[in-house]
Amino acid sequence: MESELSGAFRGRVAKHAALADAGRLRIVDLLTLGDLSPSELQAELGMPSNLLSHHLRTLEEAGLVARHRSEADRRRSYIRLAFGALEGVVPGAEQGARRVLFVCTRNSARSQLAAALWQQASEIPAASAGTHPAERIARGALEVAGRHGLNLADAAPRRLDQVLGEADFVVTVCDNAHEELTGLDAVHWSIPDPVRLGTPEAFEHAYEDISHRVNDLAPRLLAA
């Protein structure tokens, strides 16, 4: 494991360690809005000057903050977030992808919604498929898509073996499909099937779940 820790990863670890202290996290929160002098930070936080100095040194060493002299009064300095300070702070691996393929059993609701939402969130192409596709998209999926400005009218369920490409980044959005495709290298999202209940609420919950997951994943995939 030690040999796997690259310099960039160690830098992320240092940032997390620095932010694990409540006082230092409060400092960074304030600096996301703009630059502050040490005296302004002290007044805002009600923190002793020696403790503030310790926290600022730790944040500087972790590459989170930087300081510069005031042009008006050279005795005064300002603290700011360092460029790229918060890059890599949110856990998650980045990966390249030529296309994202969303897969469920029937390709009639969840995978169709995921592909449509992906096209709004990323420039990487998306498609959807099913292990046992239905004849048509579920009415509830069409209705929830319409409520949120998505157009699924021209999409038709398709079989996985007709769509899957060698370089696809595959996401299964259905437990049945995930457990059926044990030999396929895929990310899995365990999203309850809204078709089982068939209610507007079930489709709305599925839409919200998929939307959050798409928006979380999209920044982590880079066009290959």
Burial of 204 (0-12, 13-18, 19+ CB in 10 A): middle
Instruction: Choose one of 46, 81, 116: the last residue of a domain.
Output: 81
Same domain, 15 and 105: no
> What angle, rounded to 10 degrees, do the helices at 139-147 and 200-217 form?
60
Q: Report yes or no on 17 lying in a domain.
A: yes
Domain with 20 in it: what CATH number?
1.10.10.10
Domains in the chain: how many in total? 2
Pairing verdict, β 126-130 and 95-97: unpaired
CB 95 within 8 Å of CB 171: no
Domain with 195 in it: what CATH number?
3.40.50.2300
Burial of 42 (0-12, 13-18, 19+ CB in 10 A): middle
Same domain, 77 and 149: no
Domain around 200: 95-223
45 Cβ contact list (under 8 Å, min separation 6): 23, 26, 27, 30, 52
Same domain, 130 and 156: yes
How many residues in the chain?
224
Same domain, 73 and 158: no
Q: Report yes or no on 89 lying in a domain.
A: no
Burial 18-38 (b: 16+ CB within 10 A, else e): bbeeeebeebbebbeeebbeb
Q: Which residue has tokens 């030529």?
A: 98
Same domain, 39 and 102: no
Q: Which residue has tokens 């073996």?
A: 161
Q: For position 84, what pLDDT does the model report? A: 85
Q: Report yes or no on 88 lying in a domain.
A: no
Q: How far apart are the first and last CA of the chain?
A: 28
Q: Which residue has tokens 């995930």?
A: 178
Q: Which residue has tokens 């939402």?
A: 117
Instruction: Choose one of 27, 56, 81: the last residue of a domain.
Output: 81
Instruction: Choose one of 53, 81, 109: the last residue of a domain.
Output: 81
CB 112 within 8 Å of CB 128: yes
Tell me the C-alpha distance between 108 and 174, whole Å: 11
Burial 109-127 (b: 16+ CB within 10 A, else e): bbbbbbbbbbbebbebebb
pLDDT (tens place) for every residue of the chain, 224 residues total: 444 567 888 889 999 999 999 999 999 999 998 899 999 999 999 999 999 999 999 999 999 999 999 888 888 899 999 988 888 787 776 788 999 999 999 999 999 999 999 999 999 999 999 999 999 999 999 999 999 999 887 789 999 999 999 899 999 999 999 999 988 888 999 999 999 999 999 999 999 999 999 998 998 888 87
For the whole model, what pTM was predicted?
0.73
Q: For position 1, what pLDDT does the model report? A: 43
